[in-house]
Structure 1
Amino acid sequence: MAALSGKLTRKLVENLGPGRHGDGNGLYLVVDASGARRWIVRVVVKGQKNKAGAPLRTDFGLGGADIVSLNQARDRALEYRRMAKQGLNPRFNARQDIPTFEEVAQQVHIDRMPTWKNVKHGQQWINTLRDYAFPKIGRMPVDSVGQPEVLMCLSPIWTDKHETAKRLAQRIKTVLDVARSKGLRSGENPVTAIKELGALPKVKAKPKHHGAMRWQDVPAFFADLSTRNAMAAKALMFTSLTGSRTGEVLGMRWAEIDEGARLWTCPADRMKTGEDHRVPLTDAMLEIIEPLRAMQSDYVFEGQKRHRPLSNMSMLMLLRRMEVEGVTVHGFRSTFRDWASEVANAPREVAEMSLAHKVGSNVERAYARSDRLERRRALMERWSQFVTMSEGTVIHLANSGGTS
């Protein structure tokens, strides 16, 4: 038998391009066009013939190169060749060292880190598996996970936490698909089979509504906020004027603001759409944030720690302290949308774009090059004027049927 050495090196294993690269003695590194790398060994089983009567020459997968090192691949290849020389078919006699479901999942998480929308999204991906899959199937060899094991993870939360269960199913499917691509399992993905067989009950999705304040009540609420000095109050005032999401506002840095152009550009990594979003700044918005420059912080709305933003719960907790019941921070987006429709009579695409919603089909968006910035600026100016108006004017507006 040959010694445990060959043509390949660890550096070559990491950098070789697509193709089949021989190490010698039947061991090959196969690099797919996608960049995926796996080991195979080709052996001739002594005394056994194929259907054509020729010596039985067979390729066996030894696992992915990201899991099985070069030396481990050589060890396994040597074991396969020894069995073949003795007339034993490795397919039925090899001791396979298959990684666990958790090991493969952790590797998938690491491999996909550069593709996550943000760090939080990547952590949520692995946390779902950690909480609901690893306790039940984490230690199982990944090739042993079938429909019963997947159902064992999904069934307890399928109706009570349906959205979480759907995300869990998709993430288990991804791990098993990756395992199959690395030669660690075969056959149909059990998650796909469960779905096609209807093995889990149908769950009617319940629409999730964020509690919204009536647009008629916003000016009085805003006037109350303006008497408070807390940073959370400043952030909530700005949020209610812009119609932005909590994470977009709290993550805002001074570098994102163009005071000359009266524009705030929220970067793609904080946007739900994954695209930059331009927000026109009105006088009322600038009056809130300009005094905060004196703090010389990286963030516009600095929290308790220096150069760190407010916590995600700060504005909601302020609402609770103000005893504003049944209203969420996110709900101010709905409030703005109602006002834009009922009072401003704004075109749908302008109102939706003001909230950073995608409008139209993919084809329509491909041809729509404009984000309607100037029309949105005019709409946001009217909204700011309404929010900051006196209570008496609001009552008159409401009594007149909501038009002005």
Structure 2
Amino acid sequence: MARAFEKLSDLKVRKVKSPGYLGDGGGLYLQVSPSLSKSWVFRYQVNGRTREMGLGSLNTFGLRDARDRATSCRKLLADGIDPIEQRNAAQQEKRLTDARAMTFGKCCEKYIEAHRSGWKNVKHAGQWDATLRNYCTLLWPLDVATIDTVLVMKCLEPIWKAKTETASRVRGRIESVLAWASVHKFRTGDNPAAWRNHLDQLLPKRSKVQKVEHRAALPYADIPEFMTKLRLRQGLSARALELQILTATRPGEAAGAQRDEFDVSAAMWIIPADRMKAGKEHRIPLSPTVLALLQSLIPITPKGKPLHIVGHVFPGVKDRPLTTAAAMNLLKELQPDITAHGFRSTFRDWAAETTKHPREVIEAAMAHRLKDKSEAAYQRGDLLTRRAKLMNDWARYCRSAS
């Protein structure tokens, strides 16, 4: 009795030279083309119709592989499933999945582009792009749907202790990008970069590993002597640093000062929200000392208005304002052990330890938001009149060595 299955042998399959079909049984055939290339096909019937399904070349699939593939087809038929339709559906699903797939890097770019207009600082987008590219190189080319906790940890662990602040920002940015990808259906499931009840179980708290490094500041007792030396220096960097110290502003706020921000007649400097760290407009009452400084920098009309209303108070190169590096370079010559930002601490210490000005007035002068929400809710003004007296006292103290 002839065998119903496994009629062929490896030897016969290799040696056959005649075009046509050789049956192995169970619907499996070796197809030999007129050019004598050989491939496997599976023949079957569905709803009274005979169909033929290719199972691959003999060069790729040997006899045993072909039999396994034919067996899979027969199992589908036993369950009422057409093998060709099932394969077509699987291929279509793969094409859709591939079309929907997006790399982590592409998601980063799209997230940054989507949020660019909402960020107050134009440098913010560049900072996001730089940190994600530099510290997430491993993730950048991967399908965002495949990003898991193990991959996120490979990015964070090497820098978590050495660069804790940076690592914390990177984690938050990865979490945001993955959340964006989830909303856009590029991935599903929990966010592997989430901190609460997830990465906080794998990484130590930032406060446990981060070294608190306060910006080096000049003791307030030394500020009068320092200001005397500073006033003897020529150049815009010296004047920018002088304005910064006298107004207790940040280096970038002083260096980037615009002429139209000053109303000399009202003794007022109004820094717009987009130039402030907190994103809120900051009004600064100007002392007579600062007004005299501005008179040397900006030509003033008899009515107290700048002659040239538009432009940088401290122009740099290529129509840009002076960089904060200019003041830092000057400090390296005058007092190499301190930072420009540290003068805010100098002002804060002087005001708290030697004056009777209330804490909320001092904090308002430094454009700090009150941490106490109840206190902040009741303090809706900016205490301008009281701050004017504080800034006048500070200016007089800075000149007390003269």
Same fold (TM over 0.5): yes
Q: Superposition RMSD on alpha carbons, in Å?
A: 2.4
Question: CA separation in 1, counterparts of 2:121 and 2:349?
Answer: 31
Runs of 4+ in 1 over 4 A off after TM superposition: 87-93, 294-297
Question: CA separation in 1, counterparts of 2:332 and 2:319?
Answer: 26
Q: CA deviation at 1:92?
A: 9.1
Q: CA deviation at 1:90?
A: 5.2
Partner residue in 2 for 1:318: 330
Partner residue in 1 for 2:292: 287
1:216-246: CA deviation from partner (whole Å, max 9, x where unpaired) = 1111111111111111111111111111001
Which of 96, 113, 117 aligns to 1:114? It is 117
Partner residue in 2 for 1:190: 192
Partner residue in 2 for 1:352: 363
Partner residue in 1 for 2:14: none
- Pair 1:329-2:340 in alignment: yes
- Pair 1:94-2:94 in alignment: yes
- Pair 1:139-2:150 in alignment: no
With structure 1 as the length reference, what TM-score do the two structures score?
0.71
Question: CA separation in 2, counterparts of 1:298 and 1:359?
Answer: 33
List gaps (5 residues or longer) in structure 2: 1-46, 48-81, 300-306
Partner residue in 2 for 1:365: 376
Partner residue in 2 for 1:75: none
Q: Matched residue of 1:302: which SS?
A: coil
Partner residue in 1 for 2:79: none
Question: CA separation in 2, counterparts of 1:275 and 1:91?
Answer: 55
1:264-291: CA deviation from partner (whole Å, max 9, x where unpaired) = 0111111111100000111111111222
- Paired residues of 2:159 and 2:167 also in contact (CA < 8 A): yes
Aligned in 2, Cα 1:376/1:91: closer, same or farther, shift over 3 Å? farther
- Paired residues of 1:100 and 1:138 also in contact (CA < 8 A): yes
- Paired residues of 1:298 and 1:308 also in contact (CA < 8 A): no
Partner residue in 1 for 2:76: none
Q: CA deviation at 1:200?
A: 2.1
Aligned length in residues: 307
Question: CA separation in 1, counterparts of 2:200 and 2:339?
Answer: 40
- Paired residues of 1:113 and 1:122 also in contact (CA < 8 A): yes
Amino acid at match of 1:316: M
Q: Matched residue of 1:119: which SS?
A: coil
Question: CA separation in 1, counterparts of 2:389 and 2:380?
Answer: 19
Amino acid at match of 1:132: Y
- Paired residues of 2:252 and 2:323 also in contact (CA < 8 A): no
Q: CA deviation at 1:380?
A: 0.5
Aligned in 2, Cα 1:341/1:387: closer, same or farther, shift over 3 Å? same
List gaps (5 residues or longer) in structure 1: 1-46, 48-82, 392-404
Q: CA deviation at 1:85?
A: 10
Question: CA separation in 2, counterparts of 1:214 and 1:202?
Answer: 32
- Pair 1:379-2:390 in alignment: yes
Q: Matched residue of 2:283: which SS?
A: strand
- Pair 1:252-2:257 in alignment: yes
Q: CA deviation at 1:312?
A: 1.6
Aligned 1:241-280 pairs, distance under 5 A: 241-280=246-285
1:10-65: CA deviation from partner (whole Å, max 9, x where unpaired) = xxxxxxxxxxxxxxxxxxxxxxxxxxxxxxxxxxxxx9xxxxxxxxxxxxxxxxxx
Partner residue in 2 for 1:128: 131
Question: CA separation in 2, counterparts of 1:223 and 1:84?
Answer: 90
Question: CA separation in 2, counterparts of 1:84 and 1:269?
Answer: 63
